[in-house]
Structure 1
Amino acid sequence: MADRDRPQPHQLQVHPQQQYRQEVGGKPLHTQKGPTTSQIIAVVTLLPVTGTLLCLAGITLVGTLIGLAVATPLLVIFSPILVPAVILIGGATTAFLTSGAFGLTGLSSLSWVLSSFRQSTGKEPLEYAKQRMQEATIQVGEKTKQVGETIKSKAQEGGRETAGRT
């Protein structure tokens, strides 16, 4: 029986003679007051600004609707002229942008090819081109010399045959 009278450590004891006070942000709830002076000044300052902006938004909306109401008949009347003009301007703009995109793609591709060429050969493109031209010139010279010798030998053979007939 003595164990039942003693409170257990995990049990909650409620004492009705003490009032439960709720706290918010470390301050007791019943001591909180209305808005502060700075909050009131902010609201008083922002109300006219907000009202003015809302009035301007409304005036802009009404002006837009009036302009649309006036412009709609004009768009219908001039649509045989405006539609081809819009198509022409749209096509020209698309062509211009496509041309620029192709140009940038070509330049970036050329840049990539040159950089990969430099990395693979270790030479500059102009140096490589000069070397290839020298090699090609030497090959053409050798080929020309061979063809000349062939022509000379055939001419000599042809000359012997004609000399032997006479």
Structure 2
Amino acid sequence: MGIFKKKHPKHSKPTFRGILTAILATHAAVFLLILAGLSLSGTAVAFIATMPLFVVFSPLIVPAGITTGLLFTGLATGGGAGLSALSIISWLYKFSRRP
């Protein structure tokens, strides 16, 4: 039964460094939460303000978005295929150079 006994560490008093760390971490967390709230509020206000423009220009924005998406997809596919080809060629070169 002595093997399964857990030794409880002695509770020590908090150090000044630990208290200071906790205070600074709390302040940082509160600051980041405030910053996130401001960002969310600003984004919502900007979205509400620009919504009429999106509605008016949607006949232009939707085809432009589709075209941009297709162009990006094509470039990403081409780049990925080129990178894959270069890695295969590099592997073949290293494989053929082995004795």
Whether these two folds match at TM > 0.5 is yes
Aligned-pair distance for 1:96? 3.3
- Aligned-pair CA distance for 1:104: 5.9
**Counterpart residue identity of residue 17, structure 2:** S
Q: In percent, how many aligned pairs have the same letter?
A: 36
Q: TM-score, normalised by structure 2?
A: 0.60
Q: Which has the higher contact order (CA 8 A, sep 6+)?
A: 2
CA 1:86–1:24: 2 relative to 1, 3 Å: same
Aligned twin of 2:59: 80
Unaligned 5+ runs, structure 1: 1-22, 119-166
Give the letter for the 2:62 counterpart: V
1:24 and 2:8 correspond: yes
Separation (CA, whole Å) in 2 of partners of 1:88 and 1:71: 22
Question: Is 1:94 aligned to 2:55, yes or no?
Answer: no
User: What RMSD, in angstroms, separates the aligned Cα atoms of the two structures?
Assistant: 3.3
User: Shift of residue 34 of structure 1?
Assistant: 4.6
Deviation at 1:46, TM superposition (A): 2.5
Quote the offset at 1:106 in angstroms: 6.8
Aligned pairs, how many?
Answer: 87
| TM-score between both structures, scaled by the size of structure 1 | 0.40
- For residues 59 and 44 of structure 1, the distance between their equivalents in structure 2, rounded to whole angstroms, comes to 23
Compare CA radii of gyration and give the structure with the larger one.
Answer: 1
Task: State how far apart, in whole Å, the 1-side matches of 2:31 and 2:77 are.
Answer: 46
Structure 2 counterpart of 1:55, one-letter code: I
Match of residue 26, structure 2, among 44, 47, 59: 47
* Aligned counterparts of 1:70 and 1:37: Cα–Cα separation in 2: 49
Report the 3-state secondary structure (helix = DSSP H, G, I; strand = E; otherwise coil) of the residue aligned with 1:24: coil
Residue equivalent to 2:47 = 68
